[in-house]
């Protein structure tokens, strides 16, 4: 998927460069700097994100904002009206995403609730305008709650003992969380993101059906979570 993304951006840059060069040589006279051309830097990445990112809420909001700004620049919409309606529309989209996401991920959601109710983990770590490094070396991992607010959290499970499926509940608000998991476990993600995202950067994924699963239950607002 990243390859397709790179190819797409490559094509856009090549076309843009060719048009610019041909215009400079007076071979063509294509106006690439139309009113609102800068909104394409919002619209195109968000459009690509709809196909690449698992959580699409932020991309949908960004795409709608970009299209609305473009229409305003083309005098097809009134900017004052868009400005008044922008925040209510964002709230509606986010609210709908929270409502329907649990329905669409009902199986994962039930499993997460089941494990959380069973374990009721007391392991909680919060980084507020600070950093936290959390290790579970040579001990059985039974879930953890991670919160990052204008800070950073690193959770390393690579040397932990995982005997059954577990959940990592994490919230990143204007902050970041890095989660390192063992190679012999699978990862399943449930996330609610508002202008943020979660990225699974693991290269090797276990294919054994009996391998243990770590569920990432994430809420992200203007932040990011990396699984490594």
Rounded CA separation 137/119 (Å): 19
Average the pLDDT over each of 2-11, 56-65, 114-123, 138-147 and give the range with the smallest value.
2-11
pLDDT digits (tens, 9 = 90+) for 4-14: 666 777 787 88
Q: List pLDDT tens digits, range 170-203.
A: 989 889 999 999 888 888 888 877 777 788 877 6
How far is Cα 228 from Cα 199, in angstroms, rounded to an integer?
Answer: 9
Q: In what order do the strands lie in the sheet with 176-180?
A: 131-135, 152-156, 176-180, 224-227, 197-200
pLDDT digits (tens, 9 = 90+) for 206-216: 566 668 889 99
Over range 60-74, report the average pLDDT: 84
Higher per-residue confidence, 172 vs 44: 172
Residues 194 and 216: their CA atoms lie apart, in Å, by 17
Mean pLDDT in the chain? Answer: 80
Asked whether the whole model's pTM tops 0.85, one would answer no
Mean pLDDT over 30-52 rounds to 77
Predicted confidence (pLDDT) per residue in 126-176, tens digit: 888 989 899 988 888 888 899 999 999 999 999 998 888 889 999 898 899
């Amino acid at each position: 998927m990243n390859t397709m993304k790179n190819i797409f951006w490559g094509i856009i840059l090549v076309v843009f460069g060719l048009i610019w060069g041909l215009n400079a040589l007076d071979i063509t006279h294509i106006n690439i700097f139309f009113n609102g051309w800068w909104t394409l830097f919002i619209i195109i990445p968000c459009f690509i994100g709809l196909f690449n990112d698992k959580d699409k809420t932020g991309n949908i909001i960004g795409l709608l904002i970009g299209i609305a700004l473009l229409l305003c620049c083309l005098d097809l919409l009134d900017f004052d009206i868009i400005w008044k309606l922008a925040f209510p529309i964002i709230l509606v989209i986010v609210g709908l995403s929270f409502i329907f996401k649990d329905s669409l991920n009902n199986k994962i959601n039930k499993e997460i609730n089941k494990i959380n109710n069973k374990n009721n983990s007391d392991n909680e770590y919060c980084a507020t305008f600070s950093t936290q490094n959390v290790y579970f070396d040579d001990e059985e991992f039974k879930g953890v709650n991670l919160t990052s607010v204008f800070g950073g959290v690193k959770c390393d499970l690579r040397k932990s003992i995982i005997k059954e499926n577990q959940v990592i509940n994490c919230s990143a608000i204007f902050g970041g969380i890095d989660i390192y998991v063992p190679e012999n476990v699978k990862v399943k993600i449930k996330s609610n993101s508002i202008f943020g995202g979660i990225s699974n950067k693991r290269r090797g994924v276990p294919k054994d059906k009996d391998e243990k699963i770590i569920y990432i239950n994430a809420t992200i607002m203007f932040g990011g979570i990396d699984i490594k």
